[in-house]
Structure 1
Amino acid sequence: MSGNEREEGGGFELALVVPKWGEINKGEDIDDCVEILSDELRKKGLIVERVSGLQNEFIKFLAPLEVLGKVAAELQFRKRTRIGMNFPFEWDEAEAFVRHPDGSLFGWGERFRCYNHILNGIVNTGTTAIVMKSKSQEVEWNPGESLLGKLESLGILKEVFPLHDESKRRQLMRSWAMNWLDFTTQPVDDICSYYGVKIATYFAFLGMYTKWMLFPATLGLIVHFVDFGSLQLLVLPFFFICLISWAVLFFQFWKRKSSALSNRWHIYDSGAAECEYKFWHTDQSSSSSPTEHMKKQETNKLKEKKAFQREEWFRWLMRLRNDVFVIMGIICLQLPFELAYAHLYEVIGSEFLKFCLTVVYIVAIQYFTRMGAKLSVKLVRYENNENVEYSANSLVYKVFGVYFMQSYIGLFYHALLHRNLTTLRQVLTQRLIATEVIGNIFENSIPYLSYSFKKFGAIRNKRKREKGQSKVKLRSMPRVEKEYLKATYAASIGQELEDGLFDDFLELVLQFGMIMMFACAFPLAFAFAAVNNITEIRTDALKLLAMMRRPIPRADATIGAWLNIFQLLIVASICTNSALLVCLYDQEGNWNLSPGLGAILVMEHVLLFIKFGFSRIVPDEPEWVRAARKKNVTRAEQMCSKQLLRSISADENTFRDMKKHD
C-alpha cells in the first residue's frame, strides 16, 4: 500500500479515536494503553496504522481477506454456494461460495460484523492482570475482561467509526451523486457494496418511485392546465382512478423488484437463517443420537408450546398497551393543538398574522414531535420485541402517528369541514414547495456548517497551544480526523433503533400522503413531487458521500414498516378524494345522493376493490425467484433428510448389535 493511499485512508475501513492526553494534561501520556491496544489488534491479524491529529489520535485498521474469512467461518455466516444452496461459510472452501455483484466475497455488512466480533474478542486470556498506565495511574486489565470496554470506561477510547474508502467514494461521486444526465438511474449494486443493504434498498425504492412518478406528474400537468370544456366534470374522477391504479401497481411491482434485489444481493431471511444455524450447530456438536434427541424433543414439546404461547401473548399485550397509550396521547394532546392552529389560520385575515402564527406553530410542533418521539422510544424498550428490526418497525408506527396528525389534520380541516379548497391549495403549495426546498437546504447545509465549525475550532485550539512557538509549523489536518469531525447519519428521533434513513423515508411518506390524499384538489402537486424527488436522489447521495461519516450497515432487506404505511395511505386517499369530489360537485352542501354523488360512492368501492384485487393479480415476487428458492429448499431438504436417515439407521443397527451381544 503506497504512502499516498495510506494518507488518503484508502483501504482502511474503521478507526479508533483516543484523546491526546500528552497535550491536554501537561505531559501525561497514555501511549502505554494505546500501544497495548495496537499490539492486540495486530495479534488479531489486522493491519494497523496510528495517525496523530490536531486534537485526537487515531488507530486505523484493516482486516485481510483471510482474517475476515476465518472470522466469518467462526460466526457461521450462511452464504450461497455455486450449486444454489446456502451453507455455513468455511474459509478452506471459499471458492465454493458465490461472490457479490461487485466481485467481493463479503459485503460491507458482513465485514462490519466481522470487525465487531474481532474488537469484542480482544480480552485478557491470561491468568494474571496486565498493568497499564493511564493518566499517571496504573490500571489493571483483568483476565477475561474486554480491552475496549476497559479503555472506554477510563475515557481513553472515545469512539469507533467506519472510514470512507476514498477511491470508491470518488467513483460513486462521479457515477451517482454528480451524474445529473440520468435522472433516476443509480448504481445500486455499488451502493449496496459500499453502504450495505438497507441504504441500497432505500435508493432503489427512491429511484423506482421517482421514475414511476413521471406518469402522474404528466397527467397532473394536463389536468391542471388544459380546459376540457363540458367534459371537465369527468376529468377529475378519471384522474383519480388513474392515480389509485398507478399507486397500487407501483407497490406491487416494487415488491417484485425488492425480491429480485434480495436474490441478487444474496440476502436471506434472518429468522430462517437463525433456525438453520441452530439446527446445524446442534447436529454437529450434540453428543446424543438423533433418536434420543427426537424423543427428548417430544417430551418437552408441550412445555415449549406453552412457553412460546405465553411469550407471544405477552409481547402482543405490551404492544397493544403502548399503541393505545400513543393513540390516546395524540387524540387528547396533539389533536386539539392542531385543530386550534388550523382554525386560527382560517379566521385570521391578515397575512402577516398568519405568517407569525405559522412560525409559532412550527417552533411548538417541533417540541411536541420530539417529545412524542422520545416517549415512543421509551415505550418500545418495554415491548420485548424479537430483534432490533421489530423494535424499529414498532417505533416507526408510533412516531408516524405523531407526524401524521401534524402534517394532515390541518389539511383535513380546510378540505372537509370548511370546504375551503383555495386555502387547501395554498397550504399544500407551502408544504410541498417551501417546506421541501427549505428541508433539503437545511439537510445538507447544517452538516456542512457543523463540520466547518468543528474544523475551525480544532485549528484554532491547536494554534493557541502552539502560540509562541514561531518555528513550529502547524501541520494540516489528516483525512481521518476530517471524517471524525463530520456528522453521523443519525435519525432526528435518536440513533438507538434508527439511523438517518428514518428521516429520509419519513419525508417520502409525508410527501406521498399529501399528493395522494388531496390529489383532486391540487393535481399539479405531482409535478412538484417529481422534480423534488429527482433532486432528492442527488442531494441524499451527496450528503452521504461528502457531508456525513460512512454509516454503520443495517441488514434489513426491505423498507419494513414503511411499506405498510404507504399501503395505508392509498386506502386513506381513496376516502379523502371521494369526499373532495363530493365537495366539488355539491357546492350547496346538501350532501344528497344525486346520481353524480352516488356515482362517486360507487367509484370509491370500485377503487377499494382495485386496491385489494391487484395484489392478487400481480405476484409479489417474480416466478424465477420463486422457482430458484423452491429448488434450493428442495435440495436442502433432500440432503438433510438423507443425513438424518443415515444417522437413525446407524443408531438402530448399533442398538441391535449391542442387543445380540447381550
Structure 2
Amino acid sequence: MFCLHDRKMQKKLKKEWARWSGLFTGQPLNDVKCYFGEKVALYYLWLGWYTKLLVPAAALGVVVFLYGLAFFNTNPLIKEVCESNITMCPRCDKWCPVWQLSDTCTYAKVSHLFDNEGTVAFAMFMAIWATLFLELWKRHRARHVSRWKVYDWCEEEEELILEIVNDPNCNPKQFRHSYLRSTLVLTLVTLMLMLIIGLAQALVVFRVVAAPLMSEGSIKFIRDHANTVAIMIGAVLHYLTIQIMTRVNRWVALKLCDIEKTNSFAAMERNFTVKMFTFQFFTLFSSLFYVAFFLGRINGHPGEYARIAGRRLEECHPSGCLTDLFIQMAVIMLLKQTLNNIFEFIVPWLRNCLRRKTAKKLQRKCGQCYRKACHNNQGQYDACDICKLRDWLYNYHLAHTDAFSLFNEFLEMVVQFSFTTIFVAAFPLAPLLALINNVFEIRLDAIKMVNLERRLVPRKTNDIGELCMQGYINDTLSTAVLSHAGVGNDFLPDQMITSGGFNVTECR
C-alpha cells in the first residue's frame, strides 16, 4: 500500500527542499510533516540536528590534524625513530630480510598527523560531545513534537483504535509469552552473532595468509609494503562483507520477529530495531575491535611467535598499531559513504528512467485530457478520471517503498554516529567526513522521497525509536569511552633487536 503524490505539494517541495542547489538552506519541516507525516519529519529533524552539531566536532578534528602536520618535524619520538640504528627482525619467516627501524621514518611522520598530543583531548571532547548531543536532541525533539501536538501520542493505542474502526467486531490480539519461542529466538540470535564474529576472524586469517604471500611476490612495491597492502585489501573485503551482511541481517531479523509473534506492529518494529542494531554493530566493529585491542598484543615476540597453522599471526604496521586502525577506518568510511550514496541515488534514478517509458506507453492508452480545470495549478477542481488514472500509473512505476524504508536511512546515520565516536582517536577526520556526507545526504534523501520513490504512508509518531536509539547510543558512548582508554600506539614495535649483534634464529 502506498499513497499518491500530490502534484501541487510535490512541486512545492521540489522548489524549496528537494534540490541540489539548496544544500545549505533550511528544511521546511512543517511542510514535510504535513506531506509525509511526523515520522519522516522527525527523521529529517534528527538528521539536521546531528549535522549541525557535527560542525564543532569536525572543526576540532581538523585542528588536531593540522597540529600534527605543523609539528611532526620537531616531535622527539619521530626523531628517535628516524635517527635510530636499531635492526629489526624479519616480518615473515621466509624471504623477508631484516630491516632498520629508521626505514619507518615516513610512516612515523604520517601517523603523527592523527596520533599526536591533541588526539587524547579530542577523544575526550568527542565523548562529551556525544553525551551532549543526545541530551540536547531530547529537548529539540520535545519542542517540535509539542508544536505538532503529538507529545503524548501512543502508537499502540492508535493501532488498536484503527483496527476497531475498520472492523468493529475484531478481537484484540492477546500476547502470550512462549518460553519455547523465546529460547529459539535467543539461540538463533547467538548463532547469528557467532557467524558474524566468525567472518571477522576469517578476515584476520586472510591477512595472516596474504601478508607473507605478498612479501614473497615479484612486485617490489607490494613486497616492500606487504602489511599495508594486506590491511587495505582486508578493509575492502570488510566493506564488502558489511554490504552483504546488512541484507542478510535484515532478512534474519524479520524472520526472528515473525517467530516471536508480537501483538502489534509497533512491538514488532521495536524488536526488529533491537535485533538489526545488534547484528549491525557486530558486523561493523568486530574486525575493528580486533585491530584496536588484540592486534600486536597476542602475536608473541621474537623467538616465541604465536602461529595459526604454522603461520605467524599478523603484526602491527611498522609505525604502530594505530596506523592499522586508521587505514581500516579511512577505507571503510570513504567506501561506505561514497559508494552507498552513489548507489542510493543512481539505482532508483535508473529504475525510474526505465519504468517511465513503460508508464508513458500505458498512459497513452488512458487517453488525453483536454479539460482546463485539470491543468489548473491552483488545485481548485478535482481531476477527471483520465488524469487520475494517468497519475496512478505514474505513481505505481516509482521505486517501491515499505514500512521499513525510513528505518534503512536512520540505520545508516546511527551507524555513522558510531564510527564518529568509538574510534575517533584513530581517525580525527571522521567527523569532517560525516559532516560532508550528511550535507549531501539530506538532499539526496529528499530528492529520492519526493521525485524517485512512491510516497510513504504518513505515520504519526513522537519519536524515532527513542528507546532503541537511546539504548544503542548509550551503548555506543560506553564503548567509545572504553575504546579511547584502550586504544594506544607503540612507536617501537616488538620485533626490535636490542643487542649489538643478532642471531636470526632468535627472531623466529
State TM-score, norm by structure 2. Answer: 0.66
CA–CA separation in structure 1 for the residues paired with 2:359 and 2:393: 10
Structure 1 residue 418 and structure 2 residue 323: aligned?
no
Aligned-pair identity in percent equals: 27
For 1:386 and 1:257, locate their aligned partners in 2 and report how far apart those are by CA, in whole Å.
32
Alpha-carbon separation, structure 2, partners of 1:489 and 1:214: 32
Aligned to 2:65: 224
Cα shift at 1:434? 2.1
1:272–1:181 distance in 2 versus 1, CA, 3 Å: closer
Q: Which of 16, 19, 23 lines up with 1:178 in the alignment? A: 19
Alignment partner, residue 504 of structure 2: none
Counterparts of 1:348 and 1:184, CA distance in 2:
48
Q: Secondary structure at the match of 2:446?
A: helix
Kept after mapping to 1: 8 A contact 2:359/2:394: no
Deviation at 1:511, TM superposition (A): 1.1
Q: Distance in 2 between matches of 1:459 and 1:540?
A: 25
Distance 1:221 1:323, change over 3 A: farther
Q: Is 1:456 matched with 2:456? A: no
| Residues 319 and 216 of structure 1, relative CA distance in 2, 3 Å threshold | farther
1:330 aligned residue: 192
Match of 1:342 among 178, 188, 204: 204
For residues 42 and 405 of structure 2, the distance between their equivalents in structure 1, rounded to whole angstroms, comes to 14
**Structure 2 partner of 1:627:** none
1:252 is aligned to 2:135: yes
SS of the equivalent of 1:414 reads helix
Q: 2:428 aligns with which of 515, 523, 528?
A: 523
What is the aligned partner in structure 2 of residue 261 from structure 1? 144
Change (3 A) 1:174 1:265: same
Please list every run of 5 or more consecutive structure 1 residues that lacks an aligned counterpart in the other structure: 1-159, 282-307, 465-474, 491-497, 590-662
Aligned residues: 379
Distance 1:273 1:329 in 2: 31
In the aligned structure 2, how far is the partner of 1:569 from the partner of 1:376?
21
Q: What displacement does 1:439 show?
A: 0.5
Instruction: Pick closer, same or farther for the CA change 1:399–1:261 going to 2, 3 Å.
Output: same
Q: 1:272 to 1:198 in 2, by over 3 A?
A: closer
Given residue 329 of structure 1, which amino acid in structure 2 is its aligned partner?
A: L
8 Å contact from structure 2 (residues 245, 283) kept in 1: no
CA distance in 1, matches of 2:155, 2:282: 37
CA contact (8 A) 2:193 2:279 kept: no
**Pairwise CA distance, 1:268:** 4.5
Change (3 A) 1:363 1:526: closer
User: In the TM superposition, what is the alpha-carbon distance from 1:194 to its structure 2 partner?
Assistant: 0.6
Contact 2:155 2:460 in 1 (8 A): no
Query: Does residue 483 in structure 1 map to residue 390 in structure 2?
Result: no
What is the DSSP-based 3-state SS (H/G/I as helix, E as strand, rest coil) of the residue aligned with 1:338? helix
- Could you tell me how far apart the structure 2 residues matched to 1:374 and 1:218 are? 39
Residue-by-residue CA offset, 1:608-628 (whole Å, 9 max, x unaligned): xxxxxxxxxxxxxxxxxxxxx
Deviation at 1:454, TM superposition (A): 2.3
Which one has more relative contact order, counting CA pairs under 8 Å at least 6 apart?
2
Measure, in 2, the Cα distance between the counterparts of 1:362 and 1:584: 24
Trace 1:304-315 onto structure 2 (pairs within 5 A). Answer: 314=177
Cα displacement string for residues 287-322 of structure 1 (whole angstroms, at most 9, x for unaligned residues): xxxxxxxxxxxxxxxxxxxxx9x968x27x578536
Kept in 2: contact 1:198–1:557 (CA 8 A)? yes
- Counterpart of 1:568 in structure 2 is 475
Distance 1:254 1:534 in 2: 18
Give 1:222 deviation, angstroms. 0.3
**Equivalent residues in 2 for 1:567-606, closer than 5 Å:** 567-580=474-487, 583-584=488-489
Could you tell me which residue of structure 2 aligns to residue 207 of structure 1? 48
The residue number in structure 1 matching 2:346 is 445
Q: In structure 1, how many angstroms separate the alpha carbons of the residues matched to 2:156 and 2:260?
A: 24
CA distance in 2, matches of 1:167, 1:418: 58
How far 1:363 sits from its partner (Å)? 5.8
TM-score (norm 1): 0.52
1:136-151 → structure 2 map (5 Å cutoff): none
**Structure 1 SS opposite 2:2:** strand
Identify if the C-alpha distance between structure 1 residues 343 and 518 changes in structure 2 by more than 3 Å, giving closer, same or farther.
farther
Map 1:305-454 onto structure 2 (within 5 A).
314=177, 321=183, 324-345=186-207, 347-349=209-211, 350=214, 366-419=243-296, 420-454=321-355
Aligned CA distance change for structure 1 residues 265 and 326 (closer, same or farther; 3 Å): farther
The residue number in structure 1 matching 2:39 is 198
Q: What is the letter of the counterpart of residue 579 of structure 1?
A: G
Q: Which amino acid aligns with 2:418?
A: G
* 1:535 is aligned to 2:451: no
C-alpha separation between the residues in 2 aligned to 1:319 and 1:423? 42
Q: Which amino acid aligns with 2:326?
A: R
Report the Cα distance in structure 2 between the residues aligned to 1:488 and 1:234, rounded to whole angstroms. 50
Task: Using the TM superposition, give the Cα deviation of residue 457 of structure 1 relative to its aligned residue in structure 2, in angstroms.
Answer: 4.3
Letter paired with 1:425: F
Question: SS of the residue aligned with 1:381?
Answer: helix
Pairwise CA distance, 1:178: 2.4
Corresponding letter in the other structure for 1:243: M
Distance across 2 between alignment mates of 1:361 and 1:324: 26
Instruction: Give the Å deviation of 1:245.
Output: 1.1
Q: Distance in 1 between matches of 2:282 and 2:423?
A: 15
Aligned residue identity for 1:248: T
